Amino acid sequence: MEQSRVLAALAALANGTRLELVRALIGRGPAGMPAGEIARHLDVSASRLSFHLAQLEQAGLISGRRESRNVIYTVDTARMGHVIGYLLNDCCRSDPEVCACCAADASSTPKAP
């Protein structure tokens, strides 16, 4: 994956609302979530949501499809995987310690130093 695309994706994710938006969509899988439901879930106005959706769409991390009068949004899991893979493999050079942290059980939380 090109560095410029990774940087765009990371910039889009560097916002609390957008990160929560992606978290909510990932949980829905391919079924996705309608924009109105996302707005209620995140407790944001329609105009604010539109701004955040546009940022994630421009970065290629989400896409929307029209179903009747709704737009259903889903995460492009392949693109998300490429971004994470770029960080692990290209930036971190598959460092064993970094990879071990990523493979840790989701129930275990790293302790702050």
Let me know if residue 82 belongs to a domain.
yes
Let me know if residue 112 belongs to a domain.
no
CATH number of the CATH domain containing 87:
1.10.10.10
pLDDT at 112: 45
Neighbours of 29 (CB within 10 A): 11
Residue pLDDT, tens place only, 24-81: 999 999 999 999 999 999 999 999 999 999 999 999 999 999 999 999 999 999 999 9
Report the number of distinct structural domains present in the chain.
1
Contacts of 70 (CB under 8 A, 6+ apart): 34, 35, 36
User: What value does the mean pLDDT take over residues 88-103?
Assistant: 82
Query: Which residue segment(s) compose the domain that 78 sits in?
Result: 3-103
Let me know if residue 16 belongs to a domain.
yes
Distance CA 3, CA 7 (A): 6
Let me know if residue 111 belongs to a domain.
no
What are the helix (H) ranges across the chain? 3-13, 16-28, 35-42, 46-58, 77-85, 96-103
